[in-house]
Structure 1
Amino acid sequence: MTGEHRRPVVHVDPIGADLEPLPGETIIEAAWRLGYRWPTACHGQATCAACHIEVISGTEHLTPPDEEERATIEDRLPRRQDPTRFRLACRAQATGNVTVRKTGVRREPR
């Protein structure tokens, strides 16, 4: 397996899910693709903040928040404005291994 490129892993607590996002895929998109329900009201439009995550480790492996994400967090989550600790799963992309906390994530029945 030498030279094989592994995708980053986003570990989601408390459910214990390990997501491997594809390049350019957000955390919520990876969850949807892999059969998980993720709390959201706007379905990835960065307007509701219901998808927000708490970053436990690996914040340096997330793409920087864009202005839309910052504005939504500021407006909808005024007590959680630390961009190194709270992010929107519909905007954050992992470039390396990350551990996040998000309650309400469920495996879709197959």
Structure 2
Amino acid sequence: MPLLTIMPSGTALEVAPGTTLLAAILSAGEKLISKCGGQAQCGACHIAVNEGRKSLSKTTRAENEKLDALVGVSSKSRLACQAQMGEENVTVELLSFV
């Protein structure tokens, strides 16, 4: 199974392909804000994907629209509630904390 590394804590865990990054991050005991229940509405779970971006699921229209409305978005930006693990290792950086 691919490995998800969560920065800045350095927590690493195996994650089944198809699992959302939000679900994996929360299952690792990390704290990440998610106000909309994973519907790409709030943008609170905005993260940066430092490695393995191409392995993740494609960005959806709803995710793109929400990212376009956020401040501080870069080419590494994803919403953790929408991005799903693929077959390769991924490293993310949490940008918002509870």
- TM-score interval for Structure 1 and Structure 2 normalised by the shorter chain: 0.7 to 0.9
1:25 and 1:59 map into 2 onto residues whose CA distance is 15
- For residues 4-83 of structure 1, what are the structure 2 equivalents within 5 Å? 7-75=1-69, 77-80=70-73, 82=75
The residue aligned with 2:91 is 99
| C-alpha displacement of 1:99 | 0.8
Unaligned runs of 5+ in 2: none
Moved over 6 A (4+): none
* Contact persistence 2:44–2:96 (CA under 8 A): no
Which residues of structure 1 form unaligned runs of 5+? Answer: 1-6
1:18 alignment partner, SS class = strand
Q: State the distance in 2 between where 1:105 and 1:18 align.
A: 18
TM normalised by structure 2 equals 0.83
Instruction: Answer whether contact 1:13 1:103 (CA < 8 A) is retained.
Output: no
**Residue-pair matches, total:** 97
Question: In the alignment, residue 63 of structure 1 is paired with which amino acid?
Answer: S
- State TM-score, norm by structure 1: 0.75
Distance change >3 Å, CA 31–CA 79, structure 1 → 2: closer
**Matched position secondary structure for 1:37:** coil
- Cα RMSD after superposing both structures: 2.0
CA contact (8 A) 1:74 1:81 kept: no
Q: Does the CA contact (< 8 Å) of 1:46 and 1:68 recur in 2?
A: yes
Decide which structure has the larger Cα Rg and report it.
Answer: 1
